[in-house]
Amino acid sequence: MQGHKLLERNISDKNRLNLNKIPTGVYLYTITIDGKQKSGKLIKK
């Protein structure tokens, strides 16, 4: 699988990410909260 970093942001618990402008597809993500990493897959239709 090939790819590149699409988005990197520092957000607080009151902020949200707006993903309206990213193209449809499958994306892998990693979120770090309090030093712990969570990874997953996002499918945008």
pLDDT bracket for residue 34 (50, 70, 90): confident
pTM of the predicted model as reported, rounded to 2 decimal places: 0.69
Alpha-carbon distance of 29 to 36, in angstroms, equals 14
Per the structure, the count of domains in the chain is: 1
Render the burial of 2-21: b for 16+ CB within 10 Å, e for the rest.
Answer: eeeeeeeeeeeeeeeeeeee
* Structural domain boundaries, residue 24: 1-45
Give residue 41's pLDDT. Answer: 95
Alpha-carbon distance of 35 to 22, in angstroms, equals 27
pLDDT bracket for residue 28 (50, 70, 90): very high
* pLDDT over threshold 90, residue 16: no
How confident is the model over 3-12, as a mean pLDDT? 82
